[in-house]
Structure 1
Amino acid sequence: MSQGPVNSRIEDVAVVVFAKPPDEGKVKTRLARDIGDAMATGLYRCFLADISAMVSDFVARSDAAVTPIVAYNRDAQHAGYAEFRRRGFRFWDQGEGDLGARMAAVSQRCFDAGARRVVIIGADSPTLSPRHLRNALEALDAHDIALGASFDGGYYLVAMRRASPQIFKGIDWSTDQVLAQTVAACRASSLLCATLEFWYDVDTFGDLIFLKTHLLSVLQECESESVLATARYLEKLDAAGVFS
């Protein structure tokens, strides 16, 4: 499906990817402590490429009208966003404030544009698949909010069927309390919240080792061309002795 004019309305579903530009020293900083800034940044570029491929595949296969959006940070023309541009994503500025304020603002903009359901993901989980997006939308049939729980106590996905800025307030971002605090915020607002299958982000060297092993099975089950860039880059890291 075409993204349409930048200011056109959203017919049904908006899938939003929150993504930083891959600037060396500003992304994957914890991972960079073990593999260096250059390799960590190169890996993140592959994450962006694979996430854009996965979302595009979901758009192409979905029975719903899906609008893909990248919520960019700082510079929409950054070369690191090239795959999103090539695949026809809309580009929306994340805006100011903490992560919660930015997600609240972008989701509100989606609903203002006509969206009936909004799914937000990040770019730190390169093995996410169209299945995760489908499961989130299915959960919204009976819930107000769906959260994809991550093993580190946060979440890799949030989906909603109406603007719910209150679930993004008072959250201690980048801690292991994010998921629990968000679920509590949903309950406090009488919002029905579904918790989806656990998944993982790749932020540390331990996560990277897990990813390397997990890719062996993911590549056999892959629904699309996603994870291929990441898999090739891990081969490069392996050849460079990173895992030795």
Structure 2
Amino acid sequence: MFPEENTSPHPTLVLVCKRPAIGYGKQRLAARIGAEAALRIAEQLLDCALEDLGDWPGATVIAPDQRVHRDWASALAPQALCLPQSSGNLGERLNALDRTLRAAGHHCLVFIGSDAPALRPEHYQRVRIALREADTVLIAASDGGVVLMASNRPWPDLSRLPWSTADLGQALADACREAGHSVALCGESFDIDEQADLTRALGELADDPRPARRRLLHSLASTRGEHA
């Protein structure tokens, strides 16, 4: 089965995700707040990303990290194309998704993960506007990574980038520029990996009215109270 061709004037939003499970993902967080609490937060973080996927004005894709989770992912986002990731490191998997979707006519792609709940509609709007002029648009993460990466052009080779390090954001921007892309940086946000990120999220989400964010906020407040 091949992806359907995109005929929307809007970029395609791609959610790259894992199925939350105890012992799989968010291990730095689990070491501080416990496995079950970390799992609950991972599930609610994914709900926030799904909320963004559901609100997106163009085509959407959900890309679980394993083929065996295709049915799970399809049920979470029935409006989205489900395209499981291939094998390899994160860069290799993103390159493979990118090639497959562009071959199907998705020429402008916006990639997000499932752990940046502070992304707001205005972030996405700024990215869509910036993509009218720039080849590639990035939203930086405060830890040196990125929380969103979007491009009108195929990504360069991402396989050797320093994923999950503080050098990623600069390395990604440099790789794109070396490939001839014009690059626009479109603000900064953060993702949730450490216990300290939970405190920051409490402040960032305090006035966010979106339902999934309200549920996450309540859970974060409860978790902080348990581990104060």
Going from structure 1 to structure 2, the CA distance change for 1:29 and 1:82 (only over 3 Å counts) comes to farther
Q: Distance in 2 between matches of 1:197 and 1:18?
A: 21
Would the aligned equivalents of 2:85 and 2:97 in 1 still touch at CA under 8 Å?
yes
1:108 aligns with 2:99: yes
CA offsets per residue over residues 108-142 of structure 1, 9 Å max, x none?
21211111310000001012122222221211111
TM-score (norm 2): 0.91
| Equivalences for residues 21-60 of structure 1 within 5 A | 21-59=19-57
Q: Distance in 1 between matches of 2:73 and 2:222?
A: 19
Letter matched to residue 220 of structure 2: L
Letter matched to residue 170 of structure 1: R
Letter matched to residue 8 of structure 1: E
1:135 aligns with 2:126: yes
Report the alpha carbon displacement of residue 238 of structure 1 after superposing the two structures with TM: 4.3
- State the number of aligned residues: 225
Per the alignment, residue 204 of structure 1 pairs with: 194
- What SS does structure 2 have at the residue aligned with 1:147? strand
- What SS does structure 2 have at the residue aligned with 1:216? coil
Report the alpha carbon displacement of residue 56 of structure 1 after superposing the two structures with TM: 1.1
Would the aligned equivalents of 2:62 and 2:73 in 1 still touch at CA under 8 Å?
no
Per the alignment, residue 17 of structure 1 pairs with: 15
| CA RMSD in angstroms, aligned pairs only | 2.0
Q: Distance in 1 between matches of 2:37 and 2:139?
A: 28
- What SS does structure 2 have at the residue aligned with 1:119? strand
| Range with greater deviation from structure 2 (98-107 or 73-82) | 73-82
- What SS does structure 1 have at the residue aligned with 2:147? strand
Q: Distance in 2 between matches of 1:68 and 1:193?
A: 23
Q: Distance in 1 between matches of 2:45 and 2:131?
A: 27
Aligned partner of 2:86 among 95, 113, 119? 95
Residue ranges of structure 2 left out of the alignment (5+ in a row):
none
1:228 aligns with 2:214: yes
CA offsets per residue over residues 151-196 of structure 1, 9 Å max, x none?
1111011101021233x24211111110111111122122100011
Would the aligned equivalents of 1:58 and 1:130 in 2 still touch at CA under 8 Å?
no
TM-score (norm 1): 0.85
Per the alignment, residue 73 of structure 1 pairs with: 65
| Equivalences for residues 189-200 of structure 1 within 5 A | 189-200=179-190
Going from structure 1 to structure 2, the CA distance change for 1:230 and 1:81 (only over 3 Å counts) comes to farther
Report the alpha carbon displacement of residue 6 of structure 1 after superposing the two structures with TM: 7.1
Per the alignment, residue 176 of structure 1 pairs with: 166
Would the aligned equivalents of 2:13 and 2:56 in 1 still touch at CA under 8 Å?
no
Letter matched to residue 216 of structure 2: T
Report the alpha carbon displacement of residue 204 of structure 1 after superposing the two structures with TM: 0.1
| Range with greater deviation from structure 2 (6-15 or 156-165) | 6-15
Going from structure 1 to structure 2, the CA distance change for 1:50 and 1:155 (only over 3 Å counts) comes to same
Letter matched to residue 44 of structure 1: A
- What SS does structure 1 have at the residue aligned with 2:6? coil
Would the aligned equivalents of 1:72 and 1:94 in 2 still touch at CA under 8 Å?
yes
- What SS does structure 2 have at the residue aligned with 1:127? coil
Would the aligned equivalents of 1:54 and 1:225 in 2 still touch at CA under 8 Å?
no
Identical aligned pairs, as a percentage? 25
Q: Distance in 2 between matches of 1:205 and 1:101?
A: 29
- What SS does structure 2 have at the residue aligned with 1:165? coil
1:165 aligns with 2:156: yes
1:83 aligns with 2:76: yes
Letter matched to residue 9 of structure 1: E
